[in-house]
Amino acid sequence: MEDILLFLAGLIAGIRLPDLDLLTPGLSHRSAITHSCLPALVIWALGVSPVAAGLALGIAFHLSSDLQPKSWTGGALIKFPVLGSIGMLSPIWLVANVIGCLAIFMEVASGEPVDARQMILALCLLGAGWYFLQVEKRPLLPLITLGFAILLVHAIRGGTLSVKLVWQYFA
């Protein structure tokens, strides 16, 4: 139960963490540091796997939503400290980091027992439902991005692509 609570805490934090750059002196909005899988990787490397998995999933939710700005200019572009904006490579950066976040999440979740994975699935569905229906007003592109990334990570991990993908993973 402790791991589930840590995962949930990570998920909630991960949804908001990328916008921490708004409060951090020296970082521009859509900083490559916070708008990446780097925070989840650091937590994972520290050995706090449940938090890292939740953080990674929350960041993936946030980054997939950032793929639909009003226009790809100014604040919508990914920025590296010192180097500045990466311009029209920003969507590629976001998709690559959604994939990275989901790879971290799936790696951690695959080591959990079946009942824990089913609880994680329920939390994921609740978290995604809340975020994409209450916070985001246009959820189609983010959900397509997440679906694509899940299928890609699953295939790379040696899985087969099928309609039963989610159930097989969590059952």
For the segment 95-141, what is each residue's pLDDT rounded down to a tens digit?
999 999 999 998 888 887 777 777 777 777 777 777 777 776 666 67
pLDDT at residue 161, as a whole number:
47
Q: Phi/psi zone of residue 47: left (φ > 0), alpha (ψ -120 to 50 degrees), beta?
A: left
In the chain, the percentage of residues whose pLDDT exceeds 70 is 88
Mean pLDDT, residues 137-153 taken together: 73
Enclosing domain of residue 87: 2-170
pLDDT at residue 170 tops 50: yes
Domains: count for the chain: 1
Nearest alpha-carbon partner for 63 in 102, 42, 33, 94: 94
Q: What is the pLDDT of residues 17-46, one digit of tens each?
A: 999 999 999 888 899 999 999 999 999 999
